[in-house]
């Protein structure tokens, strides 16, 4: 009955068809309407509890991030439903502009056609066909997890009401000056041929170079014929319109105002001073290409430099640059460097590692590119979004993410919202080419209201994040009825948002900004930033690495319950979570333990009649007290969103206290010939504790708990999913502190004797004498339990005293203030045992010393792969633990 600490076995092919058991239960929940907002009960009868799912892309498949996040949300919504709230988990999918357009492009290409051939209207129709065919895939997979979303009211970011909401917000913001059009440097993807937001760019390391190029002075001075600039992108020199130096750089102050002749294009450009220049970079001279670098843009604006855009939308050099025209970026770089070398103007080249921005979808290097785009002026939206977090209206969990959010807002620049795509929310701007009229409109405009000529709509679509920022309220009828929509009035703001850290700025902050503006309220009260699920080696999961894990396969191997519980066991406050499949093995074993415990209770109900739970013995009082503390711990864990604490408390109680101890305490009371009245009370108590434990487990392990609940001889509700959540104070009132302490001492003593018997290979049937040295307050409690302890521990004798001395040749265990001595004389050859342990200790110590030496070697640490180092450190820790335990055993033997 000791705690189950064995290392989980590697998973084998399952011999249990989880899906066959889970699907009927899920369908029953769905058919009964439990997933829709229903009536509440108890103290929360009039309160709502709402979660909006982060809408998965219609191109998506369930991955480990989804599995973890959806488990967290479902656990929260199921508990709230059982607490009596009127709950609803809003379900929906995102149209995913770039991702879906890319998928449909590839599909059309496989059919031998392109979107350019079929035109915009037909292509958009093809995207809707894709949505109808594939959009529900991930929703079906979410169902397989047992997620209790409102499937009857699924939303889509391109449904008519949502489109109306998006156009409404754009039009309002445009008319209030929050949205404007202008030329700026944007991050441009030459492959997707669209702008990408700053925070959507991914930075990847690149082994590059620093090219030092000579720019001849128009008027040489004091023997100085040229200056040298350093650059990581020599191809952009074709668009240089200036050279900058730092105003404090005394080396070159005399050259400010002079001009250089730009090689290859024969352009005269000025040397000027600007504080952006880092005197430590390169030579101190910086080439300035305003159309291809945001810092250069800022310097160029201040200095009044012209802007020359040298690339087209596919990053090929435009016409007007001689032999370089038509070359792509890489070709132009090679050709420019070669041309400088031929002219004797290539000074030298240095290796220079740096980071480059890539497209988050196709991973092409992004091009800083001057382009006319639509922007949101964020300064007027940021203040309210920051205040909502600063004053605690919105709480982050873990709390450290609060400052990350505030820092992101503080550094936020105007947001580029236009995308050069066909699939998405088309920008609702209309133009008259006849008279020049233009305006935003929620409704379609066909003719110019000024001159009556036909009008055209803007060809760009909105950034997907622009539409998804409206998700919390646009899914509640805001577009149709505004703040008077019944769902808005009764259920807004929502309670919880659970998401990953990588979209805290892209989505979370923007939802707060949009909601504050459109509704005057925050969109949610609590934000859970769950850890990112990494592979076991700590690296990001990806197809290219081959280290991804498929949640669908995990559910086949471990069941939805096993996967859910195993995932939440690993959720701590850490930023990343190394996925450990052994946790799922443990969870599957735990589910089996729950089934076996329930089977024991249900098989021992002969003569059972319903009745109230009552403490007929100290063991009853103990389990009621422990159950009350479990409810407190689970409530505290849920309220703080500390899910690993919840799973730990549930596992410890059910496996150890209920199964290993209380059920064993109950066996003699259920046996043939036992007192009938006590047997009946024991049955009632077992059912009560099992019922309450199932309720506490249900939010995380919904299937196995519902399956067992349906077999109980009496149920408070037809289905566990809507059974009332247990109350700690009501349960604890059935127990007593005194009995709890007494049985806790019993458990400690019995465990110590059994552990000694196991440690020294003594038969479980062999009776052993034991002596317990106890504090004054516990002596009487333990003496009252001596017959009970002797029976459970198979003790030939048991002495309990305040000043008990350790017998010769006995083992020692310390627990809860007790010193427990188990007499081993006559059962253990102490000389042989000492020799055996000493030999094993010497070997383990020698092995540990080798690893300690290896891991203290700087050369090894510098050259070895990280996974090898981590493996060796884990092995050393294991050896050190074994060494400590062997040393303790040797000391115990004298």
Which residue numbers belong to the known binding site?
A: 543
As a whole number of angstroms, the distance between CA 585 and CA 570 comes to 13
Which residue numbers belong to the known binding site for ATP?
A: 543
- Please give the sequence-ordered ranges of beta strands (E in DSSP) within 706-775, or none if there are none: 768-773
As a whole number of angstroms, the distance between CA 268 and CA 253 comes to 19
Q: Is residue 558 a contact partner of residue 583, using CB atoms and an 8 Å limit?
A: no
Task: Enter the DSSP assignment of 284.
Answer: S
569: number of CA atoms within 13 Å, CB side?
A: 23
Q: Is residue 158 a contact partner of residue 127, using CB atoms and an 8 Å limit?
A: no
What is 814-853 written as a DSSP string? Answer: EETTEEEEEE-TTTS-HHHHHHHHHHHHHHHHHHHHHHHH
As a whole number of angstroms, the distance between CA 287 and CA 293 comes to 11
As a whole number of angstroms, the distance between CA 594 and CA 8 comes to 17
As a whole number of angstroms, the distance between CA 844 and CA 880 comes to 8
| Angle between the N-to-C axes of helices 643-651 and 551-569, in degrees from 0 to 180, rounded to the nearest 10 | 90
Q: Is residue 479 a contact partner of residue 521, using CB atoms and an 8 Å limit?
A: no
As a whole number of angstroms, the distance between CA 416 and CA 294 comes to 14
Chain centroid offset of residue 60 CA: 17
Q: Could you count the other beta carbons within 10 Å of the beta carbon of residue 652?
A: 15
First to last CA, the chain: 28
Q: Is 524 helix (H, G, I), strand (E, B) or coil?
A: strand
* Start-end of H helices in 609-675: 618-639, 643-651, 663-670
Q: Is 547 helix (H, G, I), strand (E, B) or coil?
A: coil
Chain centroid offset of residue 565 CA: 15
Task: Enter the DSSP assignment of 661.
Answer: I
What is 355-380 written as a DSSP string? Answer: EEEE-TTT-PBPEEEEEEEEEE-THH
Instruction: Tokens 């105002």: give the residue.
Output: 257
* Largest Cα span, the chain: 116
Q: Could you count the other beta carbons within 10 Å of the beta carbon of residue 143?
A: 20
């Amino acid at each position: 009955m000791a705690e189950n600490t064995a290392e989980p076995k590697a998973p084998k092919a399952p011999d249990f068809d989880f899906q066959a058991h889970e699907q009927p239960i899920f369908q029953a929940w769905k058919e009964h309407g439990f997933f829709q907002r229903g009536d509440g009960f108890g103290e929360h009868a009039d309160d709502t509890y709402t979660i909006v799912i982060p809408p998965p892309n219609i191109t998506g498949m369930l991955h480990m991030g989804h599995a973890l996040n959806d488990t967290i949300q479902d656990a929260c919504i199921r508990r709230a439903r059982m607490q009596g709230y009127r709950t609803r988990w809003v379900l929906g999918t995102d149209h995913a502009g770039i991702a879906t357009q890319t998928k449909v492009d590839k599909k059309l290409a496989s059919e031998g056609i392109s979107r350019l051939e079929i035109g915009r209207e037909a292509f958009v129709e093809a995207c809707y066909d894709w949505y109808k065919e594939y959009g529900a895939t991930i929703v079906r997979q979410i169902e397989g997890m047992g997620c209790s979303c409102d499937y009857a009211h699924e939303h889509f970011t391109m449904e008519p009401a949502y489109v109306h909401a998006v156009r409404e917000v754009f039009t309002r913001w445009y008319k209030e000056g929050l949205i404007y059009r202008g030329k700026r440097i944007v991050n441009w993807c030459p492959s997707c041929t669209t702008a990408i937001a700053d925070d959507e760019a991914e930075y990847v390391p690149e082994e590059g170079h620093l090219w030092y190029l000579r720019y001849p002075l128009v008027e040489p001075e004091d023997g100085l014929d040229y200056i040298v600039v350093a650059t990581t992108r020599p191809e952009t020199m074709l668009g240089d319109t200036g050279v900058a130096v730092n105003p404090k750089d005394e080396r070159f102050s005399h050259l400010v105002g002079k001009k250089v002749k730009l090689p290859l294009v024969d352009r005269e450009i000025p040397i000027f001073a600007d504080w952006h220049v880092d005197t430590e970079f390169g030579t101190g001279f910086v080439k300035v290409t305003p159309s291809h670098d945001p810092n250069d843009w800022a310097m160029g604006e201040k200095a009044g430099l012209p802007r020359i855009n040298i690339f087209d939308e596919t990053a090929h050099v435009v016409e007007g640059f001689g032999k370089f025209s038509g070359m792509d970026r890489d070709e132009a770089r090679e050709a420019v460097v070669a041309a400088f070398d031929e002219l004797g103007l290539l000074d030298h080249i240095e290796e220079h590692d740096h980071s480059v921005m890539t497209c988050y979808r196709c991973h092409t290097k992004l091009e800083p590119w001057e382009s006319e785009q639509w922007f949101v002026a964020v300064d007027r939206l940021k203040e309210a979004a920051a205040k909502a977090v600063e004053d605690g209206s919105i709480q982050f969990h873990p709390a450290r993410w609060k400052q990350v959010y505030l820092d992101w807002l503080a550094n936020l620049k105007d947001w580029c919202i236009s995308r050069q795509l066909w699939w998405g929310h088309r920008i609702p701007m209309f133009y008259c080419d006849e008279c020049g009229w233009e305006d935003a409109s929620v409704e379609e405009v066909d003719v110019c209201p000024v001159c009556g000529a036909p009008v055209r709509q803007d060809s760009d679509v909105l950034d997907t994040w622009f539409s998804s920022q409206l998700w919390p309220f646009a899914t509640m009828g805001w577009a149709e009825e505004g703040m008077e929509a019944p769902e808005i009035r009764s259920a807004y703001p929502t309670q919880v948002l659970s998401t990953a850290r990588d979209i805290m700025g892209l989505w979370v902050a923007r939802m707060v900004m949009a909601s504050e503006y459109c509704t005057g309220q925050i969109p949610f009260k609590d934000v859970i930033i769950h850890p990112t699920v990494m592979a076991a080696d700590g690296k990001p999961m990806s197809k290219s690495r081959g280290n991804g894990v498929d949640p669908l396969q995990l559910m086949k191997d471990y069941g939805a319950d096993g996967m859910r519980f195993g995932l939440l066991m690993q959720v701590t406050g850490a930023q990343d979570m190394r996925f450990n499949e052994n946790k799922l093995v443990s969870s599957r074993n735990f589910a089996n333990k729950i089934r076996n415990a329930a089977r024991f209770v249900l098989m021992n109900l002969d003569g059972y009649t319903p009745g109230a739970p009552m403490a007929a013995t100290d063991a009853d009082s103990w389990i009621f007290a422990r159950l009350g503390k479990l409810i407190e711990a689970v409530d505290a864990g849920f309220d703080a969103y500390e899910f690993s604490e919840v799973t730990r408390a549930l596992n410890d109680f059910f496996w150890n206290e209920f199964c290993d101890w209380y059920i064993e305490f109950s066996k003699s009371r259920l046996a043939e010939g036992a007192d009938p009245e006590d047997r009946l009370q024991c049955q009632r108590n077992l059912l009560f504790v099992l019922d309450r434990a199932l309720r506490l487990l249900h939010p995380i392990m919904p299937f196995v708990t519902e399956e067992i609940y349906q077999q109980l001889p009496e149920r408070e509700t037809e289905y566990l999913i809507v059974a009332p959540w247990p109350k700690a104070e009501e349960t604890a009132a059935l127990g007593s502190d005194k009995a709890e302490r007494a049985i806790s001492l019993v458990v400690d003593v019995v465990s110590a004797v059994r552990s000694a018997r196991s440690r020294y290979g003594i038969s479980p049937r062999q009776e052993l004498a034991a002596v317990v040295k106890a504090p004054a307050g516990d002596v009487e409690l333990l003496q009252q339990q001596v017959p009970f302890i002797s029976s459970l521990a198979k003790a030939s004798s048991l002495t309990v005293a305040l000043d008990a001395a350790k017998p010769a040749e006995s083992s020692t265990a310390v627990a809860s203030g007790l010193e427990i001595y188990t007499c081993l004389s006559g059962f253990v050859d102490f000389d042989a045992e000492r020799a055996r342990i000493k030999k094993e200790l010497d070997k383990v110590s020698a092995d540990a010393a080798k690893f300690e030496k290896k891991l203290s070697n700087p050369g090894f640490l510098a050259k070895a792969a990280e996974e090898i180092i981590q493996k060796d450190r884990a092995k050393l820790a294991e050896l050190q633990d074994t060494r400590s335990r062997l040393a303790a055993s040797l000391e115990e033997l004298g």
